[in-house]
């Protein structure tokens, strides 16, 4: 019985070593980006539906928004995971965290492929304060959501 268990364990370890490790895709935001925020806020007690990394950002004041980028490119030979295109508000230029205002889901990209004139419309949280706008892209991998690239605007704006 011990021999059978040992044989099965050895076979399982052999299979694990044959399966290649998951490779992360090299996703970048390229070209020019933009964001547009409408005037007029509405309080949404149940939050607003999002299609990206977060399905709902919670109860808050929201306004209509549009975000866009010339290109989102997969510069690797492997297919990416699902993607999340996001608008953030950073407290200072060069910050790596801040409130997420809007998320938009994208399907995976084959290696060497890209999204051209990427645009997303929806509802974004209204902060009513000056922050540095940031567009970022995240990829869903076996390890969960992983940051890939961002474009931070070099001026503070009323978000």
Q: How far separated are the first and last CA of the chain, in Å rounded? A: 67
In a domain, 72, yes or no: yes
In a domain, 16, yes or no: no
In a domain, 61, yes or no: yes
> For 109-128, what is the mean pLDDT?
96
138 falls in which pLDDT band (50, 70, 90)?
very high
Q: Are strands 42-44 and 114-125 parallel, antiparallel or unpaired?
A: unpaired
In a domain, 141, yes or no: yes
1-44, pLDDT tens digit by residue?
434 344 434 444 333 333 333 457 999 999 999 999 999 999 99
**2 DSSP 8-state letter:** H
- SS3 call for 15: helix
In a domain, 9, yes or no: no
In a domain, 5, yes or no: no
In a domain, 64, yes or no: yes
Contact 71, 115 (CB under 8 A): yes
Q: What is the pLDDT of residue 23?
A: 56
The total domain count for the chain is: 1
Q: Look-up: residue for tokens 């998951």? A: 22
Q: Which CATH number goes with the domain that contains 126?
A: 2.60.40
Contact 128, 99 (CB under 8 A): no
- SS3 call for 8: helix
Enclosing domain of residue 149: 33-158
DSSP secondary structure letters along 73-131: EE-SSSPP--EEEEEEEESSTT-S---EEEEEEE----TT-EEEEEEEEEEEE---SEE
Contact 152, 93 (CB under 8 A): yes
More confident residue, 132 or 128: 132
Q: Nearest Cα to 65, choosing from 153, 157, 159, 156?
A: 159
In a domain, 100, yes or no: yes
99-115, pLDDT tens digit by residue?
999 999 999 999 999 99
Phi-psi region of 31 (alpha: psi -120 to 50; beta: other; left: phi over 0): left
């Amino acid at each position: 019985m011990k021999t059978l268990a040992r044989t099965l364990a050895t076979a399982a370890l052999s299979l694990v070593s044959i399966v290649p490790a998951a490779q992360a895709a090299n996703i970048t935001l390229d070209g020019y980006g933009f964001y547009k925020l409408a005037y007029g806020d509405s309080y949404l007690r149940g939050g607003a539906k999002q299609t990206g990394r977060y399905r709902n950002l919670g109860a808050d004041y929201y306004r209509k928004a549009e975000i866009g980028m010339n290109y989102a490119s997969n510069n690797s030979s492997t297919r990416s995971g699902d993607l999340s295109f996001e608008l953030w508000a950073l407290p200072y230029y060069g910050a790596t965290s801040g409130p997420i205002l809007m998320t938009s889901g994208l399907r995976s990209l084959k290696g060497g492929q890209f999204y051209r004139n990427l645009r997303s419309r929806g509802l974004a949280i209204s902060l009513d304060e000056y922050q540095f706008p940031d567009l970022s892209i995240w990829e869903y991998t076996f390890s969960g959501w992983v940051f890939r690239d961002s474009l931070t605007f070099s001026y503070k704006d009323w978000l």
